[in-house]
Amino acid sequence: MTTPCDARVDFTVLDAAALLAIAMGGAPDRSARPLSSTPKVMTDGAVTGLWRSPDGTVQLRLHTDGTYAGEVAGRKQAVRGTYDVEGAEVVLHDESGLNTPVQVHEGELEMAGHRLLPV
């Protein structure tokens, strides 16, 4: 006996970059621009450097060349990509096309409820 509906299973495979962005509150941006092969050079050192959550679970390193690397405790692979500074916001663009907004507040970064302090 056949049913009018075929059973479908939808498996979505996410890499570590996508999982980190989702965990940090990022969402896929359908209009995301492709990663630039040459990231812009950052001259404002206000956001560059190593940032870490007080409990040590989230770490974000913003390089002066406009690239970043992020880690979340329990994840095996680090996330990498480029970033742009847009006013009081840093937007992370990871290799999978996800964009994650990071708010800059008085010497701290806030990313999806995680407070990051300079190390």
Is 3 a domain residue?
no
Is 70 a domain residue?
yes
pLDDT exceeds cutoff 90 at 9: no
Return the CATH number at 30.
2.40.128.290
In this structure, what DSSP letter does residue 21 have? H
The whole-number pLDDT of residue 95 equals 85
Of 23-37, 44-58, 59-73, 78-92, the poorest mean pLDDT is in: 23-37
Q: In sequence order, which residues have a C-beta less than 8 Å from that of residue 99 and are 6 or more positions away? A: 21, 26, 27, 28, 29, 32, 91, 92, 93
DSSP letter for each residue of 28-71: E-TTPPPPPSSPPPP--TTS-EEEE-TTSSEEEEE-TTSEEEEE
Question: pLDDT per residue over 89-109, tens digit each?
Answer: 999 999 888 899 999 988 899
- Please compute the mean of the pLDDT values over residues 45-72 and round it to a whole number: 92
pLDDT exceeds cutoff 80 at 117: yes
Structural domain containing residue 47: 16-118
How many structural domains does the chain have?
Answer: 1
Work out the pLDDT band at 70, boundaries 50, 70, 90. Answer: very high
